[in-house]
Amino acid sequence: MEYPVDVIAFLKCSVLSHYGFKPSKRLVIEFLSLTQPREDISKLGSLFIKYIEEKGMNVSLDTSDTIRATFLAFDTMGRGFIGKEDLQSVTKVVLPSLNQLHVDHMFRQLDSDGDGCLTYKDFEKLMKFKLEEV
């Protein structure tokens, strides 16, 4: 893909976070100082990944952002917690064959303080659950 040579390209940390990596502004500035002013924009992403790998840094997904976004999607009423009805409505769409009795049981297991609300902390435990820990 060709881009006009007079276009100024910006590599923002927020854009990179969509790819699962949150670099510091210092790191981005350091990288951009090493690139040519007219560097092909379409190559900047792959050049940045290569640069990060050469520095010995691990480019891995930021799971906390993914969990937070998923929590907000489950919190259909925007109340800051997930109610049983929220979990039921989401599972009906995502897992329609799942028996609602199982959903109720799962909700009771996740609700650590029994107040009928899944907090972010409760939800995070679910999202980080690994079968090896059982």
Kindly tell me if the per-residue pLDDT of 111 is higher than 60. Answer: yes
Kindly tell me if the per-residue pLDDT of 2 is higher than 80. Answer: no
Distance (Å) of CA 97 to CA 92, 93, 122, 134: 8, 9, 24, 24
- Interval 96-117 mean pLDDT: 90
- Interval 99-115 mean pLDDT: 91
- Interval 34-45 mean pLDDT: 59
H helices present in 18-119, as ranges? 25-34, 41-54, 63-74, 84-94, 100-110
Say if pTM beats, i.e. exceeds, 0.75. Answer: no
List of domains in the chain: 1-61 (no CATH), 63-133 (1.10.238.10)
